[in-house]
A and B are shown apart, each in its own frame.
Chain A
């Protein structure tokens, strides 16, 4: 069994994903614990420049460059990852818990019959054991889980749970000769789809008042709109509201929506699931109004109010008008 940590880099349209720099940082910690080396694997086509950029963070980068890797597919990236895991026998294979990570990491664990720990907030090696810290049940429970195996551990790390690596000297790129069988890439990439934009850009606003499921009825959006208006702000939303089409998709704040950094962010009836928090945690002042005192939104809010927003917001608007 090897000691190295293999990091599965992610990139999109010629840019490294920010989460890749986080797994570089975490990979170094793990390598210190295993007594091995953190190495990144980068899959793509004509991706030498990206591999060089990643090597700029001071680690060896193994480049698999192949025409069938120009875009992510479970079959293509899966084959490349499998080949490297077989030849390097790493102690841990680390990917970010992103849309791509959801597909690649468990797919690899299944195809190679390997142990898996996903969506980890933190991860460490204790001897041969892997200890994963995870959040469960809408962030309300924390769990520590222990997995022991002789085989490489496949792990995904939740984005935003660790600091990004800084540029450092000493990295180099090694091209790897891995044959990708295009007939085994069953998922064929057809194209990228972008949302139609015909709405305000909430990312440009200084003040965002966001509504979540706590508003209960679509009609209650009027309360949020009035609050936003008096603060010179715009209305945002958490995912359930845009899924129900109470507001357009362009208003959605979070991992699968917009990332925003307004001066003031007021979360009304939003529980604060990871998916939402990822998109607004860097706002200047975060105010949260929620009925549930155990709602995770209060963990990242600067000012919190436990109560019914349908009562409190209209009263606050009245105060501000008066």
Chain B
């Protein structure tokens, strides 16, 4: 049974970097950041492409963000997505997850979808909300934190990870939305010819007018949202830091472990 698959991707600042707060206090400094595809979204994309390869269908890679996110979409095309769609949204921080969810849901409504896949969380905002929020808005059946998806007849069988390594197994009819957990599969690397080809593939842009609204503000939220301030976390740490050259650090560490009785000789 060929499926219309939509995978929601987000381009995020590499979370391994160090961050400084912008003078406004309402965003991080962005001048020197580099961006990457959100971690769990890579697994969601791979899962979508594998389902397509096994059962047929089409994978649409969907994102919401500024022009720079096109590089991520081209990567997705090179890894097996058939079409790339960017909802052109210029709010670089995108801190209002409810707004994001509502715009994404409006965009998904205009695309054929049997199964929508998202990553379990974005590593920049860590809301773990977009998947189930979109499902709720669209009235789709939904399962979150999914580590395994099998197409069974006209539906799915999915494994949803719980705390402590246990899982709940569900069967779900289509259309549905699943949020994919880290480690669900092993994402592929894009082969070079596919990367070359993807540079020439079109990216469809969805502007507000395409969804029948004059601007994104016209997509109503049932609340007003404001960023009060961003700050470095309060240093509640009380770690005793061992400084010096690597040799000195190693020596002091060994000495401390001995003194505390952790060395058995």
Total A-B pairs, Cβ < 8 A: 295
B246 A308 Cβ-Cβ under 8 A: yes
Neighbour of B232 across the interface among A104, A141, A298, CB < 8 A: A141
- Tell me whether A143 is interfacial, beta carbon within 8 Å: yes
- Tell me whether B143 is interfacial, beta carbon within 8 Å: yes
Residue-by-residue, is A304-322 near B (CB-CB < 8 Å gives 1, otherwise 0)? 1111100111011011100
- Which chain A residue lies CB-closest to B242? A305
- Which chain A residue lies CB-closest to B165? A195
- Tell me whether A138 is interfacial, beta carbon within 8 Å: yes
Residue-by-residue, is A58-101 near B (CB-CB < 8 Å gives 1, otherwise 0)? 00000000000001111100100000000000000000011110
- Tell me whether A169 is interfacial, beta carbon within 8 Å: no
- Which chain A residue lies CB-closest to B126? A119
- Which chain A residue lies CB-closest to B245? A307
- Tell me whether A29 is interfacial, beta carbon within 8 Å: no
Known: A137-B19, A256-B161. A143 touches B129 (CB 8 A): no
How many residues on A have C-beta within 8 angstroms of the other chain's C-beta atoms?
Answer: 100
- Tell me whether B213 is interfacial, beta carbon within 8 Å: no
Q: In the assembled complex, which residues on chain B have CB atoms less than 8 Å from the CB atom of A252?
A: 165
Q: In the assembled complex, which residues on chain B have CB atoms less than 8 Å from the CB atom of A292?
A: 16, 18
Complex Cα–Cα for A131 and B225 (A)? 10
- Tell me whether B41 is interfacial, beta carbon within 8 Å: no
A300 B237 Cβ-Cβ under 8 A: yes
- Please classify the interface of chain A as helix (H, G, I), strand (E, B), loop, or mixed, using the class held by over half of its residues: mixed
Q: In the assembled complex, which residues on chain B have CB atoms less than 8 Å from the CB atom of A104?
A: 132
Complex Cα–Cα for A142 and B229 (A)? 8
Neighbour of A99 across the interface among B13, B160, B229, CB < 8 A: B160
Known: A75-B141, A190-B157, A312-B253. A141 touches B233 (CB 8 A): yes
Q: In the assembled complex, which residues on chain B have CB atoms less than 8 Å from the CB atom of A263?
A: 262
State which of A34-42, A48-56, A181-189 sits at the interface with chain B: A181-189
- Tell me whether A166 is interfacial, beta carbon within 8 Å: no
B182 A239 Cβ-Cβ under 8 A: yes
Mark out the residues of chain B between 105 and 137 whose CB falls within 8 Å of any chain A CB in the assembled complex: 105, 120-121, 123-137
B126 A103 Cβ-Cβ under 8 A: no
Complex Cα–Cα for A111 and B141 (A)? 11
B145 A187 Cβ-Cβ under 8 A: no
- Tell me whether B34 is interfacial, beta carbon within 8 Å: no
CB distance from B235 to the nearest CB of A (A): 7
Complex Cα–Cα for A288 and B15 (A)? 19
- Tell me whether B168 is interfacial, beta carbon within 8 Å: yes
B169 A141 Cβ-Cβ under 8 A: no
Q: In the assembled complex, which residues on chain A have CB atoms less than 8 Å from the CB atom of B201?
A: none
- Tell me whether B196 is interfacial, beta carbon within 8 Å: no
- Tell me whether B263 is interfacial, beta carbon within 8 Å: yes
B263 A259 Cβ-Cβ under 8 A: no
Complex Cα–Cα for A107 and B173 (A)? 17
Complex Cα–Cα for A18 and B217 (A)? 40
CB distance from A296 to the nearest CB of B (A): 8
- Tell me whether B226 is interfacial, beta carbon within 8 Å: yes
B171 A188 Cβ-Cβ under 8 A: yes
Q: In the assembled complex, which residues on chain A have CB atoms less than 8 Å from the CB atom of B13?
A: 137
Complex Cα–Cα for A104 and B131 (A)? 11
- Tell me whether B222 is interfacial, beta carbon within 8 Å: yes
- Tell me whether B144 is interfacial, beta carbon within 8 Å: yes
Query: Looking at B145, B234, B237, which has the most chain A CB atoms within 10 Å of its CB?
Result: B237
Given contacts A102-B131, A115-B98, A142-B234, 18 further A-B contacts (CB under 8 A): A72-B168, A73-B170, A102-B179, A103-B160, A105-B132, A106-B128, A109-B129, A109-B133, A110-B137, A113-B137, A142-B233, A143-B229, A143-B230, A144-B229, A257-B165, A316-B257, A319-B250, A319-B254
A-B contact pairs, 27 of them (CB 8 A): A73-B170, A100-B162, A102-B132, A103-B144, A106-B101, A109-B98, A119-B126, A134-B126, A138-B123, A143-B230, A145-B95, A149-B224, A186-B176, A188-B171, A189-B169, A193-B168, A231-B262, A243-B183, A256-B162, A256-B165, A287-B253, A294-B19, A296-B233, A299-B237, A303-B242, A307-B249, A311-B246
- List the 4 closest pairs (A to B, CB-CB), nearest first: A110-B136, A243-B183, A315-B250, A319-B254
